[in-house]
A and B are shown apart, each in its own frame.
Chain A
Amino acid sequence: MFFGLFRKKKKTEGSRKEAKDRLESITGGRRYSVPVREVIPQELLQSSGKDMIYQIKAYVADKYKVKEENVKVQLEEHNGYVVIITNVVFH
């Protein structure tokens, strides 16, 4: 026991890295907001829905590095507002 006091402690990897990875997976992207004009230029906002869908697909595919066919975009109307629903398949 006495000699144990002077034994060099094995260096173990701290739990910080694990906490950091978990935190990033929980909070990453939760509050990621993008101004709509950054995704859809003003002139497209007033044009057809098809052009808008194409623009959103291109933006999302570029942003998340996925193929455009993995991005599904739907436009729905609710209470006078156009709601854009986007699903991305990552794998």
Chain B
Amino acid sequence: MAKVFVVTSGKGGVGKTTVTANIGCALANKGAKVCLIDADIGLKNLDIALGLENRVVHTILDVANGKVTASEALVRHKQIKGLYLLAASQIATKEMLSPEDMKKIVAEIYPKFDYIIVDSPAGIERGFRNAIAAAERALVVTTPELPAITDADRVIGLLENSGMLESNIRLLINRFKIQMVKRGDMLTREDIQGNLAIDLIGIIPDSDEVIVATNKGVPVVLNGNGEGIGRVFNNIAQRIKGEAIPVENDIQEQGSRGFLEFLKRLFRRN
């Protein structure tokens, strides 16, 4: 039986899709059977983040309309056997899917997977309600900026109102800039967590690696050598699986890596 997560934020552009793709890859790499569902109908991106845009034949709307079953619409990842995608449609609107449709779709694939992760669109309207309809757990993504944090706060309230247990809502801080925090120019992990009052599942440092990986259509977890940001996503996947890995590890590695990168850059020829 699957654990069903929604990755949400309220604010757009904080990295929900990147987080969904990478956590999905990391979990599947560890042997879990994972289904990623793109609930961002009309503005889909998850297939692009996974490099599967040319493999999508059927979308979530085809499933909702009864054209195909959910299992028939799934696309298997090129490199990872246990990772599947249920893509969204580009030429449709969020109103064409209902929360009931989402519940039915998830119910169909529920017994076949260990994890189902729904990538929510930005906002708190219909698309958000569709995305959270079947989820028992949530990963709330925020960046360390006020608009993103206040939107995350609103979303946490809405998730609680929808009946989700507070203990099932976890916070993920993305694009954390350690140097800015050291300079006193960015909110710390404690500032953010203290205000949002939910457990933290990971801190993803700001990194160019993500952009390079997205350019290639290969999630950063698969793109590197298991170091850097890829390691952070692996840490998060392990925490999702219930392993106790201190969140401090996510930024400690990056702090020392920052110095190594600096030395490398210093002696690089071009």
Report whether A16 and B185 are in contact in the complex, using a CB–CB cutoff of 8 Å.
Answer: yes
Cβ-neighbour of A26 out of B146, B186, B187, B197 (below 8 A): B146
- Which A residues from 7 to 25 make CB contacts under 8 A with B? 13-17, 19-20, 22-24
Q: Which residues of B contact A20 (CB under 8 A)?
A: 187, 191
Stretch binding the partner chain, chosen from B78-86, B148-156, B203-211:
B148-156
Report whether A16 and B187 are in contact in the complex, using a CB–CB cutoff of 8 Å.
Answer: yes
Q: Which residues of B contact A28 (CB under 8 A)?
A: 195
Spell out A's residues near B (CB within 8 Å): 13-17, 19-20, 22-24, 26-28, 30-31
Interface residue SS majority, chain B: helix
Q: Mark B187-203, 1 if CB is under 8 A from A, else 0.
A: 11001000111000000
Report whether B184 and A27 are in contact in the complex, using a CB–CB cutoff of 8 Å.
Answer: no
CA distance A30 to B192 in the complex (A): 15
Report whether A22 and B146 are in contact in the complex, using a CB–CB cutoff of 8 Å.
Answer: yes
CA distance A30 to B197 in the complex (A): 12
Report whether B185 and A27 are in contact in the complex, using a CB–CB cutoff of 8 Å.
Answer: no
Q: Which residues of B contact A22 (CB under 8 A)?
A: 146
Report whether B146 and A19 are in contact in the complex, using a CB–CB cutoff of 8 Å.
Answer: yes
Cβ-neighbour of A31 out of B146, B157, B186 (below 8 A): B157
21 example contacts (A-B, Cβ-Cβ < 8 A) are as follows A14-B184, A14-B185, A16-B186, A16-B187, A16-B188, A17-B184, A23-B149, A23-B150, A23-B187, A23-B191, A26-B150, A27-B150, A27-B153, A27-B195, A27-B196, A28-B195, A30-B153, A30-B154, A30-B157, A31-B157, A31-B197
